[in-house]
Each structure stands twice: as structure tokens, then as C-alpha cells.
Amino acid sequence: MKVGDIVRQSDALVKFKGRHYNKKRRATLGTVVKMSSPDPRIGKKWRKQLGFLVDVLWSTGKLSTNFAEGNLEVVEGIEE
């Protein structure tokens, strides 16, 4: 994953069930605008699962900061 990739929310880290789960969230696409490494105070096991911290600008206009890379899936990557 890199800046400029088109992503959507995945259920790789957290499984949502029940009436509060919004399926539209998985359908909403976003663009990666920033990536940063996680806090070094977090344990190695969690850092590996979370991956980088990602800022995503969603198609709805909302900016989500510090999103776990492990909870996003790349829909379309950019070529370098």
C-alpha cells in the first residue's frame, strides 16, 4: 500500500456483526493521503498486525486519520 492507492475498509482485523454494522462502509472508497509508522511503544505483535498508520480521504469527503493499514484493502494501486 502506498500514497495514492484507492482503498476500502476491510474486516481483516475487526469483524462487525449485528444491526449497527453498516455495509455501506465497505462499499465506500477512499484515497490514501499519508502513511506513518506506528508508535514504537506499541508491542511488536500489534505493530505487525496493524501495519502503518494511514490517513484516508473517503469519497464522502471525510478524512480518517491513523487508520490501521491492516484494516484496509487496496482496490486499485497506482503504478510507479
Tell me the pLDDT tens digit for each residue of 20-68: 555 555 678 999 999 988 777 777 777 777 778 899 999 989 998 888 8
**pTM greater than the 0.75 cutoff:** no
Q: What are phi and psi of 26, to 5 degrees?
A: -70, -25
Query: Of residues 58 and 10, which shows the higher confidence score?
Result: 58
CA–CA separation, 12 and 10 (whole Å)? 5
CA–CA separation, 4 and 11 (whole Å)? 21
Model confidence at 19, pLDDT cuts 50, 70, 90, reads low
